[in-house]
Structure 1
Amino acid sequence: MKNHEPNNPLQAAERDIIALGIAVAAIIMLVGTGGTVLPKVMDALFGNGARPDVLLVNALLLNIALIIFGWRRYRELTREIEERRRAEARAQLLAATDPLTQCLNRRSMLEATEELRSRAAVRGEAVAYCMMDLDNFKQINDMHGHPVGDAVLVMLSERVRGILPRDARLARLGGDEFAFVMPYPAGHADRVDDLVIRLFESLAQPFRLPTITVELTLSIGLAADHDADGTIGLVVDAGTLMQRADMALYHAKKQGRNRYFWFEPSMESEMRFRNQLETGIRRGLARGEFVPFYEQQVDVESGALVGFEMLARWRSPQLGVISPDIFVPIAEEIGLINEMSERLMEQAFADAREWDDSLTLSINISPVQLRDPWFAQRLLKKLVAAGFPPQRLEIEITESCLHENIGLVRSMIMSLRNQGVQISLDDFGTGYSSLEQLRNLPFDRIKIDRSFVSELREPGSRSRIVEAIISLGRGLDLPLTAEGVEDEQILQALKSMGRLKAQGYLYGLPEDAEAVRARLKAAGKLTGVSDQAPSLPRTGTEDGPTLYRIARP
């Protein structure tokens, strides 16, 4: 049965070749026999002659049948070839395009870029490669589902396609990352700038779906194969253009998103440094190089020590002690922030167990951690495992966390508070929290951001914002903590404003666990339970709390 299937291309082709040979032979035989047999047949039909030879008649009929057979097979062959061509065209289209948006895919974009560069070079034009990435697009998929995310991507591709010039090429490189390549007059990069600005204006319009309206921002990186003055720079290929545009895109995101940058050589050094940091973070996490440091929290009125805030530090053997504003964003991007934070919390719980029971421990929580619905349960399990009282723990979350998934955040806050954990709203005033959220979410404390507290530095100066936040805290019956208390003038101004907690370099730099233990031992504030909860092993060579910041190359 399988040998007779018409969809078997090889066997069908073999039959068609045989049929073609038979048809050709039949035509030759028809010419040879037809001239002899047909006149005799016509004479016999009209009664003018003897009957023709039966064998010759049969041969003639057989030739006619073979010709008909050959013609039918020829038509079938023609249809089959056409179908094969259409199938190959479909296969090539699928291999070259993104099935969702019908844009080019990553592989075909390289070929399209090289082709466009070749044509542009003949005309003396330059080529710009633009890489685009939607800001925080993952939240749309997480909150509304992938069908909504896919619909947004389709609408995005349609808007971009409607703005690009006819000879540009648009591709979806993967996920929410798109790219286009276009020619422009050499030395007139402002033409590309104008088009990019139009893109931002178009994508600033909401994406209206049947069930939801989505608003998005975009980050863009650009690279060209010509210098700004129109001269041809170093020879680059499509892969190099893509790589440089990607570096510019990373720079745009690092500068705050919703903006665009052209590639500059310094970005390449920055990207190499960033990759070194990423490699170092992965290696350092495995080697235990990330350790907790502790900043004192003091009662403003009495000057008594009331607790510590845990601050992450990276003790890199090559780079020294690195602050979290360097490595935390990278750890979040590469998906290591949860593992890093949980290891630091385990160490902090072990360290704080031997502190006096009157001292609290504050821990900052990343917005990435609050997207995990099981975070609260895992945290409570760690408290039980460490034997650390939940009542001495204060979790600090930033205002930005309140806008990603307010329902999930509320659920986690309630789970933690039900077990005695205190919840603090960190960096108050720098984000987008509203009075409604403060009233409905069960916060236990507000922390005034250091940018506002620093305004109290001048003698006799009063920050109206600080006064307003303190009045708000009193009205909502929420205790307050002031960050960034760095000199006596700020402290005296805070003392006149009421009962507060404060922290800052005025009370000393953040210290590692050994320095804190020595401080508390001298003050008689150790409980002596460290043997019951041994600390996790530490690594590193730093002896003191000195903090070094890494300069960008």
Structure 2
Amino acid sequence: MAIRPTEYAKGQGSKAKADRDIIGLCVVVGTILLFVANGSSVMTDFVRGIVKGAHPRDQLLSTALLLNIALLLFGWRRYADLTNEVGQRRQAEQEAHKLARTDPLTGCLNRRSVSEALQEIIATARSTGHEVVAMMIDLDNFKRSNDAHGHQAGDAVLCEAARRIRSALPENSIIARLGGDEFACAAIYDPDHAEAIDRLVQRINEAVANPVEIDGLALEVTASIGLASTSVAETSEPSDLAAILLHRADLAMYQAKKAGRNRYCWFEQNMASELRYRSELERGIREGIPAGEFVPFYEKQIDLDTGKLTGFEMLARWRSPRHGLLSPEIFIPVAEEIGLISDLSESLIRQALRDAREWDPALTLSVNISPIQLRDAWFAQKLLKLLVEANFPPSRLDIEITESCLHENIGVVRTLITSLKNQGIGISLDDFGTGYSSLAQLRSLPFDRIKIDRYFVSNLGENKDSAMIVEAITTLGRGMDLPITAEGIESSEVLDELRKYGSFKGQGFLYGQPTDAQSVREMLAQSNQLLVAAPEPAQPAAAQPADEATTGPRSATA
């Protein structure tokens, strides 16, 4: 049972009181002395009186003897009880101290105690001419596994991961759980054999990556590890060095995640500036979404047989006041990690639907959806709400889902796709050829279109493997009656090669760079593909306000 601070203080007071119970001790000692002094003379007379049934000759002394015996028993009982209480209090104190320093789930040190433990291990290493490496370990994809299988399974994974890490560490190492799925470790090593640390970290990566068997389930997680060593630190104070090592190891761990997870990375000086840049991005995203800094750009989609414009794919751009125009490769991963991708995506879709209302009704709008949004059970309802707000026909909207989403949670994806299809929204399988989807998944999911990943298309004519993949996907599309869009058409040579395999919709830089809403509007106006309101009857100039006299036709909404 946990002990609250007030109870612990009271326990300390009782312990001190028990340790200083002079009265009880004096009673015991005094009664023993009195019994020894008087017992020999009085006891004989007392026992003789009891045996013969006669009254003792000295009743006062006999009474004193009985009182002496009672006091002796009372004092001894009091002393024994207090001694037992002291033992219990000391045990509670030790347990409270342990709870204050360790993680109750894994038995590792906790965040409060890791710094002190690291200081001690640094001091020990320095006294023997050794160095210390600090490791920050974060379990990859743990949250997804925890959400899918429950917290009990998640706790089991954490305990097993801690056990595996602990077993891989050398003696006199430390391991702490900082919270969630993040661990910190430290080990002493010989600077003449620094390569041993790389072998150690590789063993930890391999150990954590082994599946964890829980109730018949094989749960798989990996670890991203950041390393920092005392050998390159600028200070010799253990207290300062402990904080520096943990911070640097954390920066390195973030780089390991950025590089692809399930790997380790040593700290380098440029990581600090990268962290500051990332912090600026995070702050900018949080402030930029409500400020309207994120805007949709549009890339043309063309019917390759006729050369006719069929629609646009919406691409995200960030007009940052500090960094200028940024591409989605920079800010989308950050928005996903900080939990703002849904807000960002909904803001862009809302703007895109408003823009597309002015286009010719034959033109479609394609929108990419983040895998994280597919985990939202209410995503379909949110999207339909945006369509209603914009008065935009669902049949003109096409949602693009990346192939890698299909193996994450096929049940949720199937429910989402079915819900959107029932509303008339088109569904495309994006980046086909780069993921793990099977023919069974393609047959069971009601996709309307397949999009070939730009990597295979842009290499046509130069790479035989790309040509074989494009041909296979084209054959598959014909067999399943699924039209195909080819991304990455960047030259006329690629276009000529692509036409050999069949009929496609295509997009790429050959047809122009992605552009903003105003440029699209001007282009569509020139080709008479922009909806405008019918001109109002002319009015006398005198009766027409000055601001309306200089205003052109207003756009109508679909």
**TM exceeding 0.5:** yes
Tell me the amino acid that sits aligned with residue 453 of structure 1.
Answer: V
Q: 1:243-292 CA deviation, whole Å, 9 max, x = no partner?
A: 11111111011011111111111111111111111111111112110011
Pairing partner for 2:289 from 285, 288, 292: 285
Q: 1:296-341 CA deviation, whole Å, 9 max, x = no partner?
A: 1111121111100000100011111100000000000000000010
Tell me the amino acid that sits aligned with residue 139 of structure 2.
Answer: L
Q: Which residue of 2 aligns with 1:153?
A: 158
User: Is the counterpart of residue 202 in structure 1 residue 204 in structure 2?
Assistant: no
Q: Which residue of 2 aligns with 1:327?
A: 331
Q: Which residue of 2 aligns with 1:360?
A: 364
User: Is the counterpart of residue 165 in structure 1 residue 187 in structure 2?
Assistant: no
Pairing partner for 1:127 from 123, 132, 135: 132
Q: Which residue of 1 aligns with 2:198?
A: 193
Give the C-alpha shift of residue 17 in structure 1.
8.1
Say if 1:457 and 1:487, in contact at 8 Å, map to a contact too.
Answer: no
Tell me the amino acid that sits aligned with residue 286 of structure 1.
Answer: P
User: Is the counterpart of residue 80 in structure 1 residue 85 in structure 2?
Assistant: yes
Q: Which residue of 2 aligns with 1:492?
A: 496
Pairing partner for 1:90 from 76, 92, 95: 95
Give the C-alpha shift of residue 80 in structure 1.
0.4
Give the C-alpha shift of residue 121 in structure 1.
1.3
Relative distance call for 1:283 and 1:12 in structure 2 (3 A) is closer
Measure the CA separation in 1 of the matches of 2:28 and 2:489. Answer: 105
SS class of match (1:356)? coil
Measure the CA separation in 2 of the matches of 1:373 and 1:141. Answer: 17
Tell me the amino acid that sits aligned with residue 197 of structure 2.
Answer: V
Q: 1:466-514 CA deviation, whole Å, 9 max, x = no partner?
A: 2222122112111111111111111222233321111111111111111
User: Is the counterpart of residue 468 in structure 1 residue 472 in structure 2?
Assistant: yes
Pairing partner for 2:379 from 375, 385, 398: 375
Relative distance call for 1:11 and 1:428 in structure 2 (3 A) is closer
Say if 1:446 and 1:473, in contact at 8 Å, map to a contact too.
Answer: yes
Q: Counterparts in 2 of 1:474-485, with a 5 A limit?
A: 474-485=478-489
Measure the CA separation in 2 of the matches of 1:75 and 1:187. Answer: 59
Pairing partner for 1:140 from 139, 145, 166: 145
Q: Which residue of 2 aligns with 1:263?
A: 267
Q: Which residue of 2 aligns with 1:539?
A: none
Q: Counterparts in 2 of 1:7-406, with a 5 A limit?
A: 20-21=22-23, 23-24=25-26, 27-28=29-30, 31=33, 35=37, 38-39=40-41, 42=44, 53-227=58-232, 233-235=234-236, 236-406=240-410
Relative distance call for 1:13 and 1:390 in structure 2 (3 A) is closer
Say if 2:18 and 2:86, in contact at 8 Å, map to a contact too.
Answer: no
Q: Which residue of 1 aligns with 2:437?
A: 433
Say if 2:288 and 2:320, in contact at 8 Å, map to a contact too.
Answer: yes
Say if 1:364 and 1:395, in contact at 8 Å, map to a contact too.
Answer: yes
Measure the CA separation in 1 of the matches of 2:447 and 2:302. Answer: 20
Name the structure, 1 or 2, with higher relative contact order (CA <8 Å, separation 6+). Answer: 1
Relative distance call for 1:26 and 1:385 in structure 2 (3 A) is closer
Say if 1:132 and 1:218, in contact at 8 Å, map to a contact too.
Answer: yes
Relative distance call for 1:16 and 1:64 in structure 2 (3 A) is farther
Give the C-alpha shift of residue 96 in structure 1.
1.5
Unaligned runs of at least 5 residues, structure 2: 1-8, 50-54, 534-553
Say if 1:459 and 1:489, in contact at 8 Å, map to a contact too.
Answer: no
Give the C-alpha shift of residue 173 in structure 1.
1.3
Unaligned runs of at least 5 residues, structure 1: 1-6, 535-553
SS class of match (2:436)? coil
Measure the CA separation in 2 of the matches of 1:246 and 1:204. Answer: 20
SS class of match (1:139)? helix
Say if 1:413 and 1:423, in contact at 8 Å, map to a contact too.
Answer: yes
Measure the CA separation in 2 of the matches of 1:520 and 1:433. Answer: 37
Say if 1:26 and 1:67, in contact at 8 Å, map to a contact too.
Answer: yes
Measure the CA separation in 2 of the matches of 1:445 and 1:270. Answer: 39
Q: Which residue of 1 aligns with 2:526?
A: 522
Pairing partner for 2:422 from 415, 418, 422: 418
Measure the CA separation in 1 of the matches of 2:24 and 2:472. Answer: 100
Relative distance call for 1:282 and 1:457 in structure 2 (3 A) is farther
Measure the CA separation in 2 of the matches of 1:12 and 1:302. Answer: 93
Give the C-alpha shift of residue 515 in structure 1.
0.7
Say if 2:28 and 2:76, in contact at 8 Å, map to a contact too.
Answer: no
Give the C-alpha shift of residue 97 in structure 1.
1.5
Say if 2:56 and 2:62, in contact at 8 Å, map to a contact too.
Answer: no
Give the C-alpha shift of residue 60 in structure 1.
4.0
Say if 1:293 and 1:511, in contact at 8 Å, map to a contact too.
Answer: yes
Aligned residues: 522
Tell me the amino acid that sits aligned with residue 440 of structure 2.
Answer: E
SS class of match (2:361)? coil
SS class of match (2:272)? helix
Measure the CA separation in 1 of the matches of 2:419 and 2:489. Answer: 32
Measure the CA separation in 2 of the matches of 1:394 and 1:476. Answer: 19
Relative distance call for 1:457 and 1:518 in structure 2 (3 A) is farther
Q: Normalising by the residue count of structure 2, what TM-score does the alignment of the two structures yield?
A: 0.88
Q: 1:227-257 CA deviation, whole Å, 9 max, x = no partner?
A: 3xxxx64444222211111111110110111
Measure the CA separation in 2 of the matches of 1:459 and 1:238. Answer: 52
Give the C-alpha shift of residue 532 in structure 1.
6.1
Q: 1:398-448 CA deviation, whole Å, 9 max, x = no partner?
A: 011101110010111011111111111111111111222122211111111
Say if 2:319 and 2:325, in contact at 8 Å, map to a contact too.
Answer: yes
Structure number having the greater helix percentage = 2
What is the Cα-based RMSD across aligned positions, in Å? 2.6
Give the C-alpha shift of residue 31 in structure 1.
3.7
Pairing partner for 2:508 from 500, 504, 508: 504
User: Is the counterpart of residue 449 in structure 1 residue 453 in structure 2?
Assistant: yes
Say if 2:366 and 2:398, in contact at 8 Å, map to a contact too.
Answer: yes
Measure the CA separation in 1 of the matches of 2:463 and 2:249. Answer: 49
Q: Normalising by the residue count of structure 1, what TM-score does the alignment of the two structures yield?
A: 0.89
Tell me the amino acid that sits aligned with residue 406 of structure 1.
Answer: I
Say if 1:245 and 1:262, in contact at 8 Å, map to a contact too.
Answer: yes
Give the C-alpha shift of residue 25 in structure 1.
5.0
Say if 1:19 and 1:70, in contact at 8 Å, map to a contact too.
Answer: no
